[in-house]
Amino acid sequence: MPERKAILGTVLDSLASGVVAIDRAGDIVVFNSAASRLLGVPPEEALGKNLLAIVPNAGLVDVLRTGEPEAGRTQVIGSRTVLTNRSPIFRDGELIGAASIFQDITEMEKVSRELDSTKTIVRTLEEVLSGAGEWMVVVDAQGAITMISEAYAKFNGTTVAEAIGRHVTGVIENTRMHVVAQTGVAEMGESQKVRGRDVIVNRIPLKEGDRIVGAYGRVVFKDVEQLRELAGKLHILESKVRYYEQELTHLRGSRYTFANIVGEGVAIAAAKDEALRASRKDSTVLLRGETGTGKELFAHAIHAAGPRGSGPFIKLNCAAVPAELLESELFGYEEGAFTGAKRGGKPGKFELANGGTLFLDEIGDMPYPMQAKLLRALQEKEVERVGGTATRLVDIRVIAATSRNIEELVGEGKFRADLYYRVNVIPIRIPPLRDRREDIDPIADWILAKLSTQGGEPKRSLSPEIREIFASYPWPGNVRELHNVLEHAAAMSREPLLLPEHLPAYLLRAASSGEKRSIPGSLSNVKAEAERTAILAALRAADGNKSKAASLLRIHRVKLYEKMKRYGIPSPRA
């Protein structure tokens, strides 16, 4: 058996492709030489370790969780591009692990891009040279014409066939193309008189490495009137570009997937599992959670993982839009609907989300009169623009989110009960950071890596003292507050290691106050408190279902009952 294992190890290490396999717990059991080289981690440091500790946000963990294979995925690791296939491993019908095989395709991609670029350049040059009206010419290093547009040849009193091979000075008067081909110095916007007409030309040397192989010339303006016409067209084009850039900025945010949701604690794992299952359906999802817990991140992930992932993801913050503008933002408007309406009208978020997902953030803050119109659009799947009479059918999936107690709002008459039932088809509660303290360290490390990438600086790390402060702080602002704290600390520190002195003052005051109030307990007390916290989090994630909570905790249901009784945890009401 050891000999067979050694042979297998030798075979794996001889492969050019990286091979990584994990067991049911996510620990690495196979890590060949190619994987070590591509990931920059020695095998002895990887084997036996949890994969997420070696490769944060590894997609193989998702395969382990879902049991579904992933083929042909490209992934960037450092400066390398790899092609990855991931597959679950079953034995007797039971999922026992997952494996990933990945190959470095950086050079192949580079060659492919260069080849495509060369083909594109040749095709483009041939097309523009044969295009109607364009005046262009290409010469070799000796000044002989190798290419010339039909229009330019005709203007110079010749044909393309007659011009090819002749010296450029014998075809085009007052030309300096042969000079540029000799000196390698470009001449841009130069005036030249050709057959009695003053034209503006560009002359550009063509190089192969350090060697000059010819020159390319183009008549940019044939006369002054053409310049005026172009200036007018350019002004219109710039206006259109600015408009569409603004629209795209507002319409499409960054795309995230479940791999971007960091953390493997019981509470967040349950939320991710529910969200993943919800992504496969087209039902309306209501994301519940405090401010800063990552509701929008979950919305993006659900959209990206579902059948509408290739469609648009359109978001609208119901609390950020003035009440008088909310209807036109949602349903659009026709030309002349109100003062300041754009010519031709404007589509609303429902129309823009057609074929994709509409994310309604902070739906609990939507004005009451607007709720009836939203309900009708959701039920009928059609909208009517403000100032219009025609209805437009829309095919969308709706994901809503709120940080409010929406049931309380319904009881107070501030939120329609029928709309509540319409959006609360699949409720998913995103746990606050204080209920998932085991995830604080990996989230912090992920944020620091992201900040270093964005700032082009070396990755920062947290001192043990900061990790202790983070573990005890209640994080009322959740992940968003953690991000702000780390961004502040990174800005205040010149060293790679972040220390408590780099944290905001309010966080240090809170930590100091907490130390004065608390006295460390015995190891058994600490363990008991940790178990009690984990059980409460599991019960919340399972909506009070003790069997599901026991499954999340990976203990027998009887064991859960015993621990609930020991720690004085009451049974949730049905």
What CATH number does residue 490 fall under? 1.10.8.60
Cα gap 85→69, rounded to integer Å: 8
Cα gap 32→102, rounded to integer Å: 11
Give me the pLDDT at residue 249, please.
45
For every residue of 242-311, DSSP letters joined together read HHHHHHHHHH------GGGS---SHHHHHHHHHHHHHHTS-S-EEEE--TTS-HHHHHHHHHHHSTTTTS
More confident residue, 394 or 522: 394
pLDDT at position 452 over 80: yes
Helices and strands in the chain: count of H runs, count of E runs: 24, 21
Give me the pLDDT at residue 517, please.
44
Give me the pLDDT at residue 241, please.
66
Give me the pLDDT at residue 286, please.
96
Confidence band for 521, pLDDT divided at 50, 70 and 90: very low
Could you tell me the residue range of the domain that residue 465 belongs to?
A: 433-517
Query: Same domain, yes or no, for 277 and 395?
Result: yes
Give me the pLDDT at residue 518, please.
45
Query: Same domain, yes or no, for 218 and 264?
Result: no
Query: Same domain, yes or no, for 270 and 405?
Result: yes
pLDDT at position 209 over 80: yes
Give me the pLDDT at residue 554, please.
82
**Domain harbouring 562, CATH code:** 1.10.10
Mean pLDDT confidence for 444-469: 89
The answer to the question of residue 138 being in a domain is: yes
Mean pLDDT confidence for 265-270: 88
Cα gap 450→377, rounded to integer Å: 39
pLDDT at position 251 over 60: no
**Domain harbouring 420, CATH code:** 3.40.50.300
The packing angle between helices 478-492 and 440-455, to 10°, is 50
Cα gap 300→275, rounded to integer Å: 11
Residue 140, phi then psi, degrees to nearest 5 = -90, -175
Query: Same domain, yes or no, for 97 and 152?
Result: no
Spell out the long-range contacts of 322-327 with Cβ–Cβ below 8 A and sequence spacing 24 or more: 323/367, 323/370, 326/366, 326/367, 326/370, 327/370, 327/373, 327/386
Give me the pLDDT at residue 573, please.
60
Q: Please say whether the beta carbons of 59 and 76 come within 8 A.
A: no
Query: Same domain, yes or no, for 307 and 410?
Result: yes
Mean pLDDT confidence for 210-216: 91
Tell me the per-residue pLDDT of 76-132, one tens digit each, with 9 for 90 and over.
777 778 888 889 999 888 889 999 888 888 767 666 666 666 566 556 666 655 555
Q: Which of 160, 194, 222 lies at the terminal end of a domain, its last residue?
A: 222
Tell me the per-residue pLDDT of 218-248, one tens digit each, with 9 for 90 and over.
988 887 566 667 667 777 777 666 656 555 5
Give me the pLDDT at residue 253, please.
44
The answer to the question of residue 248 being in a domain is: no
Distance between terminal CA atoms of the chain? 54
The answer to the question of residue 419 being in a domain is: yes
Cα gap 59→70, rounded to integer Å: 9
Query: Same domain, yes or no, for 527 and 458?
Result: no
Share of the chain above pLDDT 90, in %: 40
Give the number of other Cβ atoms within 10 Å of residue 251's Cβ: 15
Query: Same domain, yes or no, for 457 and 555?
Result: no
The beta strands (E) that lie in 492-573 are given as 497-498
Cα gap 395→63, rounded to integer Å: 30
Residue with tokens 């203990």: 555
SS3 sequence of 493-507 = CCCCEECHHHCCHHH
What's the mean per-residue pLDDT of the chain? 84
Return the top range by mean pLDDT from 4-8, 234-238, 446-450.
446-450
Query: Same domain, yes or no, for 359 and 214?
Result: no
Cα gap 452→299, rounded to integer Å: 26
Give me the pLDDT at residue 254, please.
46
CA distances from 314 to 216, 296, 332, 367, 370 (A): 46, 11, 14, 20, 19
**Residues paired with residue 402 on neighbouring β-strands, in sequence order:** 288
Number of domains into which the chain is organized: 5
pLDDT at position 423 over 90: yes
The answer to the question of residue 16 being in a domain is: yes
**Domain harbouring 94, CATH code:** 3.30.450.20
Q: Report the alpha-carbon angle 533-538-542, nearest 5.
A: 150
The answer to the question of residue 233 being in a domain is: no
Q: Tell which residue, 349, 366, 432, 361, has the closest CA to residue 399.
A: 361
The answer to the question of residue 326 being in a domain is: yes
Q: Which of 374, 396, 429 lies at the terminal end of a domain, its last residue?
A: 429
More confident residue, 121 or 330: 330
Query: Same domain, yes or no, for 293 and 401?
Result: yes
More confident residue, 144 or 18: 144
Measured in residues, the chain has a length of: 574
Return the top range by mean pLDDT from 126-140, 218-232, 259-273.
259-273
Q: Which of 388, 403, 429 lies at the terminal end of a domain, its last residue?
A: 429
Residue 192, phi then psi, degrees to nearest 5 = -150, 135
pLDDT at position 250 over 50: no
366: helix, coil or strand? coil
The answer to the question of residue 212 being in a domain is: yes
The answer to the question of residue 253 being in a domain is: no
Query: Same domain, yes or no, for 146 and 163?
Result: yes
Query: Same domain, yes or no, for 386 and 474?
Result: no
Residue with tokens 């408007």: 333
Query: Same domain, yes or no, for 438 and 484?
Result: yes
